[in-house]
Every structure is written in C-alpha cells, then in structure tokens.
Amino acid sequence: MSSAIIPLNALGRQKSAQTGGCSAQGCGSGGGQAADGLAPDIWQRVKDHPCYSDEAHHYFARMHVAVAPACNIQCNYCNRKFDCANESRPGVTSERLSPEQAARKVVAVASRVPQLSVLGVAGPGDALYDARRTFETFDRVAEVLPDLTFCLSTNGLALPDWVDEIAARRIGHVTVTVNMVDPEVGARIYPWIFHGHRRWTGLDAARILHERQMEGLERLAAKGVLVKVNSVMIPGVNDDHLVEVNRWIRERGAFLHNVVPLISDPGHGTRFGLDGQRGPNPAELKGLQDRLDGGVRLMRHCRQCRADAVGLLGEDVSQDVTLDKLPETPVYDPAPRAAYRAVVEREREDRHRAAAAATAGLARSGLPARLVAVCTKGGGRINQHFGHAREFQVYEVDGRGVRMIGHRRADNYCLGGDGDDDRLDDIIAALAGIDTVFAAKIGHCPKRDLAKAGIAVIDSYAHDYVETALADWFQAALPAAFTA
C-alpha cells in the first residue's frame, strides 16, 4: 500500500499541548458551538468528511467508485475519453464498475484503508443521469458498512427528479456544479444538454440547466441535505460572475462553495483546451476566493479528484486498489477503522488545544499576512521530507490565525535517492508568491538552490502541528527577517 495512508505512528509524535485554553473556534467539544464555528449537530456531520471540513481532510479519506459513466450535458472543459492512471482531475478513471463490483471494492478498501470515512459517486459522467446505478451501489454498501458517509456529485440537471430518493436514503452530502446563474454566461460553457427526451442548445439549454440546478439545490437544502456547490473558475467567461453565483446559492441554502480553477490543456481534447482558453493562476483564484469571503462558507482545499480517487485528498492510491488487485470475496474487518478513529479523536483534541494556545497572540502581532508552503503526509503535521513532496499545502498566517488556503502540485524532487534539477525548477515555479517552505527535512543542495531562488526552507519544526509551528515562526522569526 502506498505512503498515502497515514501510519498511526505518524500521529502523536509531538509534545502535546501545554495548557488548556480550549476555544469555540478551535475545539470540537466546546459549549454551544463546535469546531470551526459550526453548530454541534452540523459539526458532527462534517467532522469526518474530508471535503466538507478542511480540518477533517488531514485525517480522513474518501473513495470514489466510477459507476456513473454517462452524462446528460456537455461542458466545454470535459472530455471523458481521456483515460490516464497518472492524471488527477474530474472525469478521469482507470476502471468503470458495476454496482456489484463497486460494493466489492468498497468492502475490500475499507479493510485496508483505516482512514476511509466517505464513499462518493462522482462520475466519470453524472451520478444522477442513470441514478439507479448510483443508488444500487449505495444500497449494497450500506448493508455491510452502515457507518460510511455517502456523498454524490451532480451537474444538477436531473437533480429535481431524485431529491426525495436522495433524502430517503442516508445520502447527506450532495455537490452540485454551478458555473453560472445567467444563461448568457452558461451558453459559453455548455454547448448542449439532453433533457425531456431531446437535445437543447444555446440559451435554452443554459436556462433549463440553471432552473433545474436552483430547484434541486433549494429542495435538497430544505430536506436538510448539506449541499456543496462547485464552480469552475474560467477567466474571462465566469470569473466575476461567480460573485453573483455565490449570492444565489447562499439565498437557496447551500452549505459550502468550492471554486476550482479550470484545468485546460490542448492534450486533454476539451473544447476549452483546444480553443486556448486558459485557467486562472493561483493568485487569481485566491483573489476571487477572498472576494467571496463572507458569503457561503468556502472550501479551499479541493484537489479536483479523479472519478476513481481513493485515499487522503492530497495523495491518491487508486492505482493500488484496482479491482484486479483485490480479493474476489472480501470480508470486512472493522477493527482497523475503529482503532484509527480512537487515535484521531485523541490527536484532534490535543491539536485543537495546541493550536488555540499557539495562535492566541497572533492578533497582537500587527504583522502583514504571509503565505507559506508545508510538506505533510497528513495528520495536520509537518511530517514529510521536502524531496518526497508531490504537493505543498499553502497556509496564510496573519492576525486572524493560521488557515489553509490551497495547495500547489509539482513532481517530487527526489528520485531513487537523487535530486532532479529540472524538477526543482518546476517546484520553484509552482511555489510562485511563496518564499518560505516548512518540511520535516531537506538536503543541503536543494536547500541552497532554493535559497538562491529566494525560497527559505525551514526544517526545525519537524513533526510539529502546522498551526503551532507557523504561529511560532510568524511571531518570532518574521520581525528578525524584516530588520535583517
């Protein structure tokens, strides 16, 4: 099994929080409010969901089963014919499964991946176009794993037809992709939809899709389902417009808004890719997300998963658990998941206390916000060697605290024990706008070369919690750097 699975001994290596100081912001057991400012009942529903809680994604994994191959619309950013084991983006999958195969896979994976908490259906087409396949999958899994959280993702066109079925099952988390509320904008994103036994194009297609999305969202929210809205940010097409989208979905009860950057490459064969439509850069994405702050809660840690993704959000192990590598008749062993959850509960409380104590003084610092990158294998700790990192988690530190605001991807620097200079150049490019990286360890040569590029790497906080390390560094080291 790949390193994506957090070894239990990677948790609990840091000295624990020195003092109490549990705050409503930072502790899951606070009085009237739970962690993250959420009401306790809502926190219970999101605290193990790696997409609905940024905090949960340090500990818990999701798996997607690709049981929904067909789609009822065409988006200009999608081409599902592209099939690559190394590609991580929506619509890509290495295997398509029947509901029976999917259930077998889930049972096998749940025995091997103790972090597993959520089962999702996210394509590779639309989860509700042929909804019976999606529902049969969930029904089969529910018989064996009643404690898994169920989640699905849809373009929303068929959603109004299935609201009651979703609510009647225990599917408590639904994502609807909403890229526009103005059909004029929609007509630039969707060439056609298939609805009511016929194909629609142009403004009519966009108008129908918009009306169905809003109806589905509103009715799901009224039934208590936690609805997340994903929006693809397409510069020059809907970037400014997403402010309006955020307002519409707030008024209709959305729980989360997840703005993701358009992935566009001519090699993917999508309409946008072939036309040269570019995606936003990290600064543009952050700029829009900052504009949306104050509306619907924002998700900023999305990894734009494959339709067969398995594991923690930052590290996909789907290639280790394809059907051919799993037993024909798996028997579910609940013990590893139960043991892992017990460890996480203890670890979480300790981390919350430590983070609350460490960040308490930040408001007085008066220092400008800083963006830093962190190498981590999970658990909310700085616990990965720089050379092994294939993604860097980006945190913003300022007087309001320490917050994860995104991630940057690049191939890992170390290959079989040796560093790769070309890859280091790519890493430096991926870290644009970031001048400090926290890693568990880094070799002398890459540290020197990064310093030449203006990027400092700090490895003195190895295995500490991210929040305590960054708060300590922000308050202590930054003034010295400013006066140097």
Q: Interface with ligand CLF by CB under 6 A: which range of 23-31, 297-305, 370-378, 398-406? A: 297-305
List 122, 232, 434, 450, residue binding ligand CLF (CB under 6 A) = 122
88 binds ligand CLF (CB under 6 A): no
| CA-only gyration radius of the chain, Å | 22
List 155, 175, 231, 246, residue binding ligand SF4 (CB under 6 A) = 155
25 binds ligand SF4 (CB under 6 A): no
305 binds ligand CLF (CB under 6 A): yes
125 binds ligand SF4 (CB under 6 A): yes
Cβ proximity to ligand CLF: between 62 and 385 the closer is 62
Q: Interface with ligand CLF by CB under 6 A: which range of 3-11, 162-170, 266-274, 300-308? A: 300-308
**Cβ contacts of 208 within 8 Å, gap of 6 or more:** 157, 193, 195, 200
Among candidate residues 391, 459, 454, the one with its CA nearest the CA of residue 428: 454
151 binds ligand CLF (CB under 6 A): yes
List 51, 66, 296, 470, residue binding ligand CLF (CB under 6 A) = 51
> Residue 153 touches which of ligand SF4, ligand CLF, none (CB < 5 to 8 A by kind)?
ligand CLF
Residue nearest to ligand SF4 (CB): 78
DSSP string, 117-128: EEEEE--BS-TT
Biggest CA-to-CA distance, the chain: 69
126 binds ligand SF4 (CB under 6 A): yes
List 26, 50, 91, 387, residue binding ligand SF4 (CB under 6 A) = 91
Binding mask 55-74 for ligand SF4 (x = CB under 6 A): ----------------x-xx
> Residue 125 touches which of ligand CLF, ligand SF4, none (CB < 5 to 8 A by kind)?
ligand SF4
> Residue 442 touches which of ligand CLF, ligand SF4, none (CB < 5 to 8 A by kind)?
none
120 binds ligand SF4 (CB under 6 A): no
Three-point CA angle 84, 63, 410, nearest 5°: 50
Q: How far apart are CA 125 and CA 93, in angstroms?
A: 10
186 binds ligand SF4 (CB under 6 A): no
Give me the least distance between CB of 274 and ligand SF4, in Å please.
15
Among candidate residues 74, 77, 433, 429, the one with its CA nearest the CA of residue 278: 77
Binding mask 388-417 for ligand CLF (x = CB under 6 A): ------------------------------
Give me the least distance between CB of 46 and ligand SF4, in Å please.
24
Q: How far apart are CA 231 and CA 78, in angstroms?
A: 14
> Residue 14 touches which of ligand CLF, ligand SF4, none (CB < 5 to 8 A by kind)?
none
Cβ atoms of 22 and 362 within 8 Å: the answer is no
Reduce the DSSP state of residue 459 to 3 states and report it.
coil
Cβ proximity to ligand CLF: between 14 and 154 the closer is 154
Count of chain residues binding ligand CLF (CB under 6 A): 17
Give me the least distance between CB of 380 and ligand CLF, in Å please.
17
Residue 128 CA from chain centroid, whole number: 21
303 binds ligand CLF (CB under 6 A): yes
Cβ proximity to ligand CLF: between 33 and 88 the closer is 88
* Residue 387 DSSP label: G
Cβ atoms of 173 and 150 within 8 Å: the answer is yes
Q: By CB neighbour count within 10 A (0-12 exposed, 13-18 middle, 19+ buried), where does 303 fall? A: buried
- Residue 333 tokens read as 């062993």
Binding mask 227-246 for ligand CLF (x = CB under 6 A): -x------------------
List 91, 120, 160, 406, residue binding ligand CLF (CB under 6 A) = 120
Sheet holding 297-299, edge to edge: 297-299, 256-261, 226-233, 171-177, 149-154, 116-121, 61-64, 310-311
Taking the CA atoms of residue 128, residue 132, residue 138 and residue 143 in that order, the dihedral angle to the nearest 10 degrees is: 170
- Residue 246 tokens read as 């955020």
Instruction: Using the CB atoms, write b or e for 191-215: b if 16+ within 10 Å.
Output: eebbbeeeebeeeebbbbbbebbbe
Q: How far apart are CA 141 and CA 119, in angstroms?
A: 9
Give me the least distance between CB of 153 and ligand SF4, in Å please.
8
> Residue 71 touches which of ligand CLF, ligand SF4, none (CB < 5 to 8 A by kind)?
ligand SF4
List 75, 313, 389, 469, residue binding ligand SF4 (CB under 6 A) = 75
Residue type, 38: L
Among candidate residues 116, 195, 205, the one with its CA nearest the CA of residue 160: 195
Look at the chain and count its residues.
Answer: 484
Please, which of residues 242-281 interact with ligand CLF by CB under 6 A? 258
Q: Which residue has the tokens 């003092």?
A: 19
The phi, psi pair for 227, rounded to 5°, reads -100, 125
Residues that bind ligand CLF (CB under 6 A): 51, 62, 64, 118, 120, 122, 151, 153, 173, 175, 228, 258, 302-305, 313
What residues make contact with ligand SF4 under the rule CB under 6 A?
A: 71, 73-75, 78, 80, 91, 123, 125-126, 155
